[in-house]
Amino acid sequence: MEYLTAADIDAVQSISAVPTILRVVAETTGLGFVCIARVTGDSWTTCAVLDRVGFGLQPGDALDVATTLCDQVRADDALIVIDQASEDPVYRTHPTPKQYGFESYISVPVYRSNGDFFGTLCGLDRRPAQLSDPRILDTLKLFAELISRQLEDESRMSASETALLNERESSELREQFIAVLGHDLRTPLSSILTGAELLQRLPLEPKALSIVERIKRSGRRMSSLVDDVVDFTRGRMGGGIALDAGDTTELGQHLRHVVAELTDVHAGRAIVSDIALDDMVFCDPKRIAQMLSNLLVNALTHGAQDQPVQVVARSEDGGIFLSVTNAGMPIGPEKMAQLFQPFRRGTNASTSGGLGLGLYIASEIARSHGGTLSVTSTEDATTFSFALPKPARE
């Protein structure tokens, strides 16, 4: 058994061409009442109406389907045309024309794309009309087919919108879960790092101290990964990278600390730095240091292992310029176009233990500051450059 739903009425109402179709049908046929009806085995309901004769039906109104000729259209799967009911050999004694007071009547079936019967495009009038004219019949058949196609388009669009909404909700739930998980991981990680610091102060054997140092490095790496995930999630949820920006002379100190830390972690790799940032600049120094760390790790991971990585940082007219350069294979055009997208990892990524978020987060830090992060790559070197102009002051 078929059931009428409000979605059927909404589907017809949402077709922008329906009012025009009804108006053209009325003008072509001369009928004063034209409608699109949803017809099932036990219901007849108007979905769209043009009423110029005061028949009295509005969208959503229902009639007893057994009293309508549309029920016969549905059963016989064929249109019905009546030019003048009182003279028609079939319908002059039929109760429906008398009950509803019409002389002329037409009802054309409307189908869904899968061939199922949806309803009818129908019209009536108290006066006779030449509806059996082949040109009129062809026109109404074309309009019925157009309505059928529009119903399919609306159905597909509705399904796509529902799927998109479900995916968006699922995505937001995943990102919220990741954010909460990242937040909750910070406490045990902090305990691990604090415990390792305390153990280093004890008189331990060299082998034990080596294990403690390994625990510290792993803890710091895990903490960095958690930071990346939380920053990524915040950015994807529309919050952007959070900044604590202000005038500072400590940026150079933060950047030198990053270089020293990564020099220790990547033993045997040379990092040549030229950091001249002792002037007052406006930024979030911890975030800029995080950017340098991400860029430097990327360079150490993907650059030539036997060549030094160069770091340059200086103030320029009250702004900041920062660059990281490494030798090695140039970045191809395809990879270059996706370089700052999340979860993009290079050919050496398996050795880095990263998530492929470093460059994405670096670019988000640059964007949040109002600066630019760009890259150039040639046979000689690859350079990532961050430029932050002096902020305008009121």
Bridge-based pairing state of the strands 43-51 and 33-40: antiparallel
Q: What is the pLDDT of residue 16?
A: 83
Residues 126-150: b if buried by 16+ CB within 10 A, e if exposed: eebbebeeeebeebbeebbebbbeb
- What is the spatial distance between Cα 356 and Cα 345, in angstroms, rounded to a whole number? 5
- Helix (H) / strand (E) element for 315: namely strand 309-316
Average pLDDT, the chain: 85
The answer on pLDDT for 306 being more than 50 is yes
Q: What is the dihedral of CA 174, 180, 182, 184, to 10 degrees?
A: -150
> pLDDT tens digits for 237-249?
555 677 889 999 9
- What is the spatial distance between Cα 154 and Cα 147, in angstroms, rounded to a whole number? 10
Q: Which two tokens stand for residue 196?
A: 């390792």
By the 10 Å C-beta count (0-12 exposed, 13-18 middle, 19+ buried), 347 is classed as: exposed
Residues 108-119: b if buried by 16+ CB within 10 A, e if exposed: bbbbeeeeebbb
Ordered by where they begin, the domains of the chain are 6-160 (3.30.450.40), 163-236 (1.10.287.130), 246-388 (3.30.565.10)
Query: How many CB atoms neighbour CB 96 within 10 A?
Result: 19
In this prediction the pTM is 0.49
Q: Which of 155-159, 258-262, 275-279, 321-325 has the lowest mean pLDDT?
A: 155-159
> pLDDT tens digits for 349-376?
444 445 577 898 899 899 989 999 999 9
Residues 117 and 109: beta-carbon distance below 8 Å: yes
Mean pLDDT of 208-230: 77
Q: What is the pLDDT of residue 321?
A: 95
